[in-house]
């Protein structure tokens, strides 16, 4: 009864801290059912928490068991770790995709109880699926906002720190002149996982994030691919030329992936995904130039990818992107592209 009396005062912000004994008592009483766990997540997000003040393992395991991913993410963020929810929700979303066709058959077998629990928790208690949560979470935190209420993360320094950490996870800052030292799949594992879940959602996420003025504060240091231990490399890390904006990192990364699929036969992305992502990146380059810069040889190579990708589902997007490239970077001779454009079906 005492804990239930405390709840409205905590949620209204009148109580911001509790002694460890009271916190643990709340966890013990609220971490038993999906209904109470959702309320527990709201309580924890309303408090100023420090590690060790409550049984976080019990809370997170309960969230996992009942598929309460929104609560799972908000608890981690309240503890000051913006990265942990991403890896966990992506893994859960990918597992759900793999089991998608098997869910109906699972209802006839031994997994019936687990399927029922997850479905009921999603419908009755309003929590989102892991796929929805991960994209919404990224959208808010990269833009300097708490998930899921969208309030600004304060102080500004903390918001920039969280945003930069997530940006570097999705778009590792590497030297684009060299192949990724860890391979395409390992270096860009998180970004490729998001594209696998939904390329359309990924594009919507990027469009929303890049239209927010907050990302102008995000600048990422690009580490050289060799000589990291030398004094010269330490100095180079501090050079302005080694610092890139978030939007530049996005465009550079998409080019690396497109080149790997088209030239090296990498299977990390499908041709449709390359067509959609390349078209979007070219649109960023042509509309944000000179904020976004590409070398002449990169532009020529990317135009070649758009022409020869051979994916009918993205022909209109690639054709538009190709036209934008020619407007910003007119070739010495348009005749050089006539045959290739005709073969690609670019007739506009």
pLDDT at 100: 67
The whole-model pTM stands at 0.81
pLDDT over 50 (residue 119) = no
User: To the nearest whole percent, how much of the chain has pLDDT over 70?
Assistant: 85
In terms of residues, how long is the chain? 348
pLDDT at 145: 96
pLDDT over 80 (residue 34) = no
pLDDT-based confidence at 107, cuts 50/70/90?
very low
**Triad 82, 138, 204: Cα angle to 5°:** 170
pLDDT over 60 (residue 118) = no
What are 285-323's pLDDT values in tens digits?
999 999 999 999 999 999 999 999 989 999 999 999 999
pLDDT at 111: 37
What are 73-83's pLDDT values in tens digits?
988 998 899 99
Cα dihedral sign, 325-327-332-336: positive
Helix, strand, coil share (%) of the chain residues, nearest 5: 65, 5, 30
Q: 96-100: list long-range contacts, CB under 8 Å, 24+ apart.
A: 96/129, 96/130, 96/131, 97/131, 97/196, 97/197
pLDDT over 50 (residue 11) = yes
Of the candidate ranges 6-15, 100-109, 318-327, the one whose mean pLDDT is the lowest: 100-109
Region 45-74: mean pLDDT is: 82
Q: Residue 43: how many CB atoms within 10 A of its CB?
A: 20
pLDDT at 276: 96
Q: Which among 210, 200, 327, 207 is positioned nearest to 276, based on CA atoms?
A: 200
pLDDT at 127: 55
pLDDT-based confidence at 271, cuts 50/70/90?
very high
Higher pLDDT, 52 or 327: 327
| Mean of pLDDT over the chain | 83
What are 129-177's pLDDT values in tens digits?
899 999 999 999 999 999 988 999 999 999 999 999 999 999 998 877 6
What are 231-249's pLDDT values in tens digits?
444 444 444 447 889 999 9
Region 325-330: mean pLDDT is: 92
CB distance 166 to 138 below 8 Å? yes
What are 42-55's pLDDT values in tens digits?
787 788 777 777 77
Where is 309: in which H helix or E strand? none
pLDDT at 52: 75
**Triad 94, 257, 180: Cα angle to 5°:** 100
pLDDT-based confidence at 19, cuts 50/70/90?
confident
pLDDT at 296: 92
Of the candidate ranges 90-94, 226-230, 249-253, 261-265, the one whose mean pLDDT is the lowest: 226-230
pLDDT at 182: 74
What are 175-223's pLDDT values in tens digits?
776 777 778 899 999 999 999 999 999 999 999 999 999 999 898 888 6
pLDDT at 1: 57
Query: Distance from CA of residue 109 to its chain's centroid?
Result: 35
pLDDT at 225: 57
């Amino acid at each position: 009864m005492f804990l239930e009396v405390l709840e409205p005062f905590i949620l209204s912000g009148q109580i911001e801290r509790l002694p460890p004994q009271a916190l643990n008592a709340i966890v013990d009483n609220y971490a038993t059912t999906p209904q109470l766990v959702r309320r527990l997540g709201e309580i924890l997000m309303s408090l100023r928490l420090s590690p060790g003040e409550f049984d976080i393992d019990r809370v997170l395991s309960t969230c996992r068991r009942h598929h309460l991913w929104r609560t799972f993410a908000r608890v981690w963020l309240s503890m000051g770790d913006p990265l942990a929810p991403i890896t966990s929700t992506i893994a859960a979303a990918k597992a759900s995709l793999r089991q998608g066709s098997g869910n109906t058959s699972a209802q006839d077998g031994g997994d019936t109880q687990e399927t029922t629990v997850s479905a009921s928790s999603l419908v009755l208690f309003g929590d989102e699926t892991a796929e929805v949560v991960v994209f919404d979470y990224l959208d808010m935190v990269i833009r300097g906002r708490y998930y899921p209420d969208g309030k600004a993360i304060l102080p500004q320094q903390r918001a920039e720190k969280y945003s930069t950490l997530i940006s570097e996870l999705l778009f590792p800052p590497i030297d684009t002149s060299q192949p990724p030292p860890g391979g395409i799949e390992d270096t860009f594992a998180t970004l490729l996982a998001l594209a696998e879940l939904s390329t359309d959602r990924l594009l919507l996420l990027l469009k929303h994030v890049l239209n927010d003025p907050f990302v102008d504060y995000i600048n990422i240091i690009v580490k050289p691919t060799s000589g990291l231990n030398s004094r010269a490399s330490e100095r180079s890390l501090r050079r302005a030329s080694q610092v890139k904006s978030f939007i530049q990192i996005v465009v550079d990364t998409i080019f690396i992936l497109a080149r790997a699929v088209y030239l090296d036969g990498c299977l990390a992305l499908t041709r449709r995904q390359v067509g959609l992502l390349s078209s979007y990146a070219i649109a960023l380059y042509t509309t944000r130039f000179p904020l976004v810069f590409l070398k002449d040889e990169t532009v020529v190579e990317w135009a070649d990818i758009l022409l020869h990708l051979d994916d009918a589902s993205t022909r209109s997007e690639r054709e538009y992107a190709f036209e934008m490239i020619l407007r910003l970077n007119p070739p010495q001779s348009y005749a050089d592209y006539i045959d290739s454009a005709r073969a690609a079906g670019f007739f506009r």
